[in-house]
Amino acid sequence: MRQQIAAANWKMNLTYSQAEQLLDNLLSKEYNLNANRKVVLAVPFPYLKLAVDKVNGKQGIFIAAQNCNTKKSGAYTGETSVEMLQSLSVNYVVLGHSERREYFNESNAFLAEKVNLVLESNLTPIFCCGESLDIREAGTQNEFVTVQLTESLFHLTAEQITKVVIAYEPIWAIGTGKTASSQQAQDIHEHIRNSFAEHYGQKVANEISILYGGSVKGNNAAELFAMADVDGGLVGGASLNADEFATIINALK
């Protein structure tokens, strides 16, 4: 079975003491995690060391950075390198979130550079893709997402691509309270997997985890995750509540 992942994206939220309390609350709960069921917590940069130390020794729970720079080091004030993340024992890096694309003008080509560097550093990219409302209403979401994948990922070898986690995020369903139906989620996830199959073959495509990232909550996670090509979720607001995120974790296949 493909890896099933409940990934939390805390975004730019919580004070240090609030982050510590949330971590303690999350880690106090029981989860049935194994090689195929994982939790990834993408916390703000100032809390990475705290989070890494908290989850040390906890089976199936890993820490992600929410971004990284395209350079290994240098005069880039305010930026964070993959070498810094490695030195903290961070395991994953979220790349290409819609907010990074929209607010910081990150292009598909720019994200390809980040993907390369993260993989070279033996970290796992969680690569985000997805469409805005106007594209969805025009019915061209499949073509739009295919371009994102092609320009940022399809230069990778088959061995490399299986190390990438995909997070499909319908931008129109992030923070709006709207959620794609479980069938809508399945349809676009199936398209994404078919795109990988066309480029790399079905065997490789079947190994790639594809997460759904549009207003996943405790009350819809089980239905979404039950879809054949939905391998978990990238969770925003609901991940800031320990009880609700625990429900989401326990909804993994």
Catalytic residue among 106, 169, 189, 244: 169
97 catalytically annotated: yes
Calpha distance 141→130 (Å, rounded): 8
Q: Which of 97, 99, 106, 131 is catalytic?
A: 97
What pairing do the DSSP bridges indicate for beta strands 165-168 and 61-65?
A: unpaired
Spatial distance between the Cα atoms of 58 and 168, rounded to a whole number of angstroms: 27
> Is 156 within 8 Å of 164 (Cβ atoms)?
yes
In angstroms, the CA 199 to CA 219 distance is 36
Q: What spatial distance separates the first Cα and last Cα of the chain, rounded to whole Å?
A: 9
Active-site residue, 169 included: yes
> Cα 121 from chain centroid?
18
Positions marked active-site: 97, 169
